[in-house]
Amino acid sequence: MKKEAEIFVYGAEQICASCVNLPSSKETYEWLEAAISRKYPGQPFKIHYIDIFNPPEDEAAKAFAERVVEEDLFYPVVTMDDEIIGEGNPRLKDVYKKLEEHGYHAE
């Protein structure tokens, strides 16, 4: 494994208007955390939930949260290495592919 992966899930309590009938951003964050832990047991990673309407003081997180709002991206938006890997209804396959590029391997 190259380095511990760090995944960010940007979203809001209110479900995206274009994402009706999909899980909330927080539910997606929890689902991703559980799915990654099951697929890559014993391989550490960090996952962060960022509320786009109340971002932390971290400049990078704050700037991307503003981008999600300004560009009307479908949230939740999942990023890794400053790259969007999922938007609205992220696909596990895409997240797994990015993790495997980092040297993670399924067990």
d(Cα 87, Cα 76) in Å, to the nearest integer? Answer: 6
Q: What is the pLDDT of residue 85?
A: 96
Q: Which residues have a Cβ under 8 Å from the Cβ of 2 and sit 6 or more positions away?
A: 102, 103
Record the tokens describing residue 20, joined without a space: 């009706």
Backbone torsion region of residue 80, taken as left when φ is above 0, otherwise alpha when ψ lies between -120 and 50, otherwise beta: beta
Q: What is the pLDDT of residue 21?
A: 72
Q: What is the pLDDT of residue 2?
A: 66
**Mean per-residue pLDDT pooled into runs of 10, the chain (107 residues):** 86 74 87 96 95 92 94 92 91 95 90
Q: What is the pLDDT of residue 19?
A: 65
The full set of domain ranges for the chain reads 5-101
Q: What is the pLDDT of residue 22?
A: 78
- Please provide the CATH number assigned to the domain covering 5-101: 3.40.30.30
